[in-house]
Amino acid sequence: MSALDFLQAGAILPAVKATAKKQLLQELAQAAAPLTGLDERAIFDSLLQRERLGSTGIGNGVAIPHGKLAGVKTLFGLFARLDKPIEFEALDGDPVDLVFVLLAPEGAGADHLRALARVARIFRDPETVQKLRVTRDAAALHTLLTEGKPSQAA
């Protein structure tokens, strides 16, 4: 199962204008707060704390910032497509323009890791990544991420 069933239709940001990593994380936390019912600052702090351990920029212009928080009941995903790539200290040194935030309950050890693996698998597919880069419609982006790889080009 590679579809991201924990990504809500309202959790797609198709044109983020952030210019720096910290600003981006703040905007992502701000967008996630009303969708999760969690405090924006708690989300931001969790994401920032994880970034301090090492960048979640996995390469090829993709980052998967993630964190575990008290108050998160189920896995939560949020996808952002940046208007312009930004420096993210990614493993390959390339700037990032596709970002997937994953928030998990504090006790979600294996579930969190499986969800991270599912997200990473989707972003390893060059065809999907290219479609995500050129698609500007939030509903179409959601479909690309939740329905897996379509059998025919959309």
126-134 helix and 109-123 helix, angle to the nearest 10 degrees: 80
Do 65 and 47 form a contact (C-beta atoms < 8 A)? yes
The three-state DSSP-derived secondary structure of 77-107 is EEEEEEEEEECCCCCCCCCEEEEEEEEEECC
Residue 66 annotated to the active site: yes
Do 131 and 144 form a contact (C-beta atoms < 8 A)? yes
Q: How far is 81 from 3, CA to CA, in rounded Å?
A: 18
Q: How far is 99 from 81, CA to CA, in rounded Å?
A: 6
Catalytic annotation, pick one of 21, 66, 112, 142? 66
Question: Which residues belong to the active site?
Answer: 66
